[in-house]
């Protein structure tokens, strides 16, 4: 955008300024202008993110060393909270449970999302049908998350469809509680919430693979199974990493699913942070928040090491 | 290859098709059931519905008419202040986030020092767990003495959440953008601002719409970050969840059904328009490629 202005100026100013503008000068000026306009354009967003994210995060780390006197925060340099959080068996099991649930849910959405994405990209021949099915698989993302949690009840609640069918068949007179207020229910609900993030990228990942490559491998004698593991899945890695990345972003901070469907029986980090914040236990909440942040950033970092998503931009 | 499937491949095709069907069932059956149950008259949300009435919608739209609430212990909640707040917050967030993200993405077309760090700083708002971001902003603003409202900490946090998504949308578009068109306009004498207004912006229209839609939806549905930063203001997700914690009634299903329907229709319309625009661009590209 800055090039044209310069291209014009010399013609009008050449007569008034006898000094010759060399090519080197022009390039240097251009570079400087480009850099200045870039900084002006990027500046506001950086300022906003600094105030809203970087500063509060740094502050959080600091507060985790403060002390609570009654309900008022006292500026101090007191490692007591950290001592408590890192030594206490409850908090350790909290972290382990969080990791366990996140791992199981991500594994489930990866397997199911890969299978669905493969089906859409490879086996649905009609373009229109493919687009329609893909649209159906990703649309639920736009339904509010809390509505999707509440929707669980009409299907799996004690008054819901599943229990109605079970009671009609007459297996049991008591409502079955397999799908509500327990860990399996929570994991199934989370998987259904987040699988929509994986199906789309996987369909795109498999869809952009050149069919000739697969055909070449097949004609050289590779089995479909071998083709999938050695050619198709590695080539679709970008889609896989993108899907896991976005599921994980939502999953690490999710506490409402645990409350509403998991029955808050075995709490995880996100929910415990919120509990502590509501009880005004700021230093503990801050320390746990730092733990959760480190875990999720390390996880996302490892993911980016597997496949740098920036090259897909 | 698709014509000559081995027996294993045919089996896998069946299996994967069934998997997709099950996933779609798990995604849409609850929606359908919720819609059906929202027409139920009783306070209990038992399946199957015994009578189909508009009672819960009437309660939803007339929360001040106490005569409608005839069932013992039924919570009477007016969702409209929360809905209005969510709409307003979503709108402001979408516009502010989109403007900041568009500017930043345009800046990223140039190389500058610290480009990598800035990229990660912008994306940090998206990757920090929601509850952590909310907690950090809450403690920070509490300490410096800024009261928590939707128009203070609320907008701050919501924009921090949606801006990275909008930023990525614009980056994806701009990286596939033919800059020679801008150069052509500039060579013909258009100033930088005219080039932006008449060339860059119209070409970015799908991305602009996408970013606004993304920003609005992410903010409208925001729960994890909003839990701690809205103060006494309540957005719709919080209102619905706190009502559901007390008791789930057909009224909750009716507002859920209404909102789900409106969002699905809006997004479908957008995606169909987007696809049409894209195929039009693809056709012109193909036509251009055919020219010698």
* Tens-place pLDDT, residues A76-135: 788 888 888 888 888 888 899 999 999 999 999 999 999 999 999 989 888 889 988 998
pLDDT > 90 in chain A, percent: 37
| Identity of the residue in A116, A142, A274 whose CB atom sits nearest the CB atom of B267 | A142
Alpha-carbon distance of A57 to A84, in angstroms, equals 21
pLDDT of residue B164: 96
pTM of structure: 0.87
Of the candidates B37, B5, B6, B13, the one whose C-alpha atom is nearest the C-alpha of residue B251 is B37
What one-character-per-residue DSSP string does B132-177 give? HHHHHHHHHHHHHT----IIIIIHHHHHHHHHHHHHHHHHHHHHT-
pLDDT of residue B28: 92
Question: Chain A closest CA to B157's CA: distance in Å?
Answer: 6
Q: Distances from the Cα of A187 to the Cαs of A30, A180, A191, B144, B167, in angstroms?
A: 55, 11, 6, 39, 31
Q: Does A115 sit within 8 Å of B256, measured CB to CB?
A: no
Question: Chain B closest CA to A53's CA: distance in Å?
Answer: 6
CB pairs under 8 A between A and B: 305
Mean pLDDT of each 10-residue bin along chain B, 292 residues long: 70 92 93 87 69 82 79 79 93 96 92 88 93 93 90 94 94 85 84 85 88 92 88 88 83 90 87 77 64 52
pLDDT of residue A154: 83
pLDDT of residue B10: 86
For helices A89-118 and B7-37, angle between their N-to-C axes, nearest 10 degrees: 120
pLDDT of residue A106: 96
Output DSSP code: residue B73.
T
The mean per-residue pLDDT over the stretch A65-73 comes to 81
Please list every residue in chain A whose beta carbon sits closer than 8 Å to the beta carbon of residue B183: 3-4
**Taking the mean position of all CA atoms in its chain, how far away is CA A128?**
29
Please list every residue in chain A whose beta carbon sits closer than 8 Å to the beta carbon of residue B118: 42, 46
pLDDT of A35 over the 90 cut? no
pLDDT of residue B1: 44
Is the bond leading into B48 cis (omega within 30 degrees of zero)? yes
> Look-up: residue for tokens 């606004």?
B212
**Taking the mean position of all CA atoms in its chain, how far away is CA B241?**
18
| Identity of the residue in A37, A60, A153 whose CB atom sits nearest the CB atom of B45 | A153
Question: Chain A closest CA to B147's CA: distance in Å?
Answer: 15
Q: Does B103 sit within 8 Å of A44, measured CB to CB?
A: yes
Q: Does B112 sit within 8 Å of A40, measured CB to CB?
A: no
pLDDT of residue A8: 46
| Identity of the residue in B44, B160, B252 whose CB atom sits nearest the CB atom of A150 | B252
- Please state, rounded to an integer, the average pLDDT across all residues of chain A: 84
Locate the chain A residue with the closest alpha carbon to B86.
Answer: A144
**Residue A289 in contact with partner chain B when CB distance is under 8 A:** yes
The mean per-residue pLDDT over the stretch A191-210 comes to 92
pLDDT of residue A171: 67
CB B155 within 8 A of CB B93: yes
pLDDT of residue A7: 45
pLDDT of residue A21: 55
**Residue A218 in contact with partner chain B when CB distance is under 8 A:** yes
| Residue A296 vs residue A20, higher pLDDT | A296
pLDDT of A182 over the 70 cut? yes
Alpha-carbon distance of A15 to B98, in angstroms, equals 44
Alpha-carbon distance of A276 to B237, in angstroms, equals 21
Please list every residue in chain B whose beta carbon sits closer than 8 Å to the beta carbon of residue A110: none
Question: Chain A closest CA to B55's CA: distance in Å?
Answer: 18
| Identity of the residue in A45, A157, A249 whose CB atom sits nearest the CB atom of B103 | A45
pLDDT of A23 over the 70 cut? no
pLDDT of residue A85: 84
| Identity of the residue in A49, A60, A159 whose CB atom sits nearest the CB atom of B135 | A60
pLDDT of residue A16: 46
**A67-69 and A72-74 as β-strands: parallel, antiparallel, unpaired?**
antiparallel
């Amino acid at each position: 955008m800055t090039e044209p202005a310069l291209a014009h100026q010399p013609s009008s100013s050449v007569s008034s300024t006898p000094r010759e503008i060399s090519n080197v000068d022009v390039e240097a000026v251009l570079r400087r202008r480009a850099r200045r306009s870039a900084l002006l354009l990027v500046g506001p967003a950086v300022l906003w993110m600094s105030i809203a994210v970087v500063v509060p995060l740094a502050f959080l780390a600091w507060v985790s060393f403060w002390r609570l006197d009654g309900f008022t925060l006292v500026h101090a340099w007191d490692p007591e909270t950290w001592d408590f959080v890192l030594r206490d068996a409850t908090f350790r099991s909290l972290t382990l449970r969080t990791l366990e649930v996140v791992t199981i849910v991500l594994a489930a959405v990866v397997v199911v999302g890969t299978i669905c994405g493969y089906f859409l990209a490879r086996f649905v021949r009609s373009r229109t049908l493919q687009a329609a099915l893909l649209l159906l698989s990703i649309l639920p993302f736009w339904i509010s998350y809390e509505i999707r949690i509440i929707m669980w009840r009409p299907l799996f609640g004690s008054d819901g469809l599943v229990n109605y069918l079970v009671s009609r068949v007459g297996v049991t007179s008591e409502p079955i509680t397999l799908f509500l207020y327990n860990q399996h229910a929570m994991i199934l609900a989370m998987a259904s919430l987040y699988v929509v993030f994986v199906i789309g990228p996987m369909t795109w990942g498999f869809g952009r693979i050149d069919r000739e490559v697969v055909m070449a491998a097949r004609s050289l004698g590779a089995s479909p199974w071998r083709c999938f593991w050695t050619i198709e899945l590695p080539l679709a890695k970008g889609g896989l990493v993108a899907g896991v990345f976005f599921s994980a972003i939502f999953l690490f901070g999710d506490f409402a699913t645990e409350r509403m469907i998991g029955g808050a029986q075995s709490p995880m980090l996100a929910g415990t942070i919120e509990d502590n914040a509501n009880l005004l236990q700021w230093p503990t909440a801050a320390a746990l928040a730092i733990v959760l942040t480190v875990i999720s950033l390390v996880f996302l970092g490892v993911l980016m090491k597997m496949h740098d998503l920036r090259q897909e931009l | 290859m698709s014509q000559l499937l081995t027996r294993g491949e045919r089996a896998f095709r069946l299996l994967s098709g069934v998997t997709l069907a099950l996933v779609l069932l798990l995604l849409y059956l609850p929606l359908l059931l919720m819609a059906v149950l929202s027409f139920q008259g009783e306070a209990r949300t038992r399946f199957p519905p015994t009578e189909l009435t508009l009672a819960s919608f009437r309660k939803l739209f007339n929360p001040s008419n106490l005569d409608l609430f005839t069932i013992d212990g039924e919570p009477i909640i007016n969702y409209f202040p929360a809905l209005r707040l969510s709409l307003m917050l979503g709108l402001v967030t979408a516009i502010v986030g989109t403007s900041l993200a568009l500017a930043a993405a345009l800046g990223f077309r140039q190389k500058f020092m610290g480009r990598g760090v800035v990229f990660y700083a912008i994306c940090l708002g998206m990757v920090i767990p929601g509850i952590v971001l909310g907690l950090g902003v809450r403690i920070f603003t509490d300490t410096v003495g800024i009261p928590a409202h939707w128009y203070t900490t609320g907008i701050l946090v919501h924009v921090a959440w949606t801006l990275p998504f909008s930023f990525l949308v614009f980056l994806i578009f701009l990286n596939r953008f033919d800059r020679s068109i801008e150069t052509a306009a500039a060579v013909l004498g258009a100033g930088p601002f005219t080039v932006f207004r008449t060339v860059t912006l119209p070409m970015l229209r799908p991305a602009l719409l996408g970013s606004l839609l993304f920003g609005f939806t992410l903010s409208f549905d925001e729960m994890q970050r909003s839990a701690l930063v809205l103060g006494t203001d309540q957005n719709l997700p919080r209102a619905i969840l706190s009502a559901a914690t007390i008791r789930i009634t057909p009224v909750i299903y009716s507002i859920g059904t209404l909102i789900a329907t409106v969002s699905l229709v809006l997004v479908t319309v957008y995606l169909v328009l987007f696809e049409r625009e894209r195929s039009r661009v693809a056709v012109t590209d193909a036509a251009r490629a055919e020219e010698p």
